[in-house]
Amino acid sequence: MQAHIFQGALENEGIESLLHNENLSSLLKSCVSNISGVDIFVYEKDYERALQVLRDNQSFPEDLKCCPYCGSADITFKLRSDRRMRAACAAVLSLLVMAPPGDNHWTYKCNRCKALFDKPVSADYKREEESRI
């Protein structure tokens, strides 16, 4: 689903793209989540522009390191307190069936403003939000 959103963002900028491993990815996700994934191919001449479009759309997880509320980079990744029992059961069950437990038991916490959130943002996100106001 996310690959289609990325592909749409590229098409809006006039960049042709092709999705690869789309069907196989959905089959493998339940077995091997760290190696399955959809590849997005673009022409070599459009590569730099495509990277910029994806950066502008907050699409690189390694760039997402800041709190969406205050913009601080002082964030930690922690187990959700309301889902500890569920996470423990998922861990035991995943060991029994030899499958990954999933990642919906975790959250981020900002150490500056103490906010909890599901996904960090890039450093530019807060500045973009302030400029829109």
Write out pLDDT tens, residues 33-76: 555 577 888 999 999 998 888 877 765 555 668 888 888 888 88
% of residues, the chain, pLDDT over 70:
62
Give the orientation angle of helix 47-56 with respect to helix 2-12, to 10 degrees.
120
Torsion of CA 38, 53, 61, 87, to 10 degrees: -60
Sign for the pseudo-dihedral over CA of 90, 114, 55, 5: positive
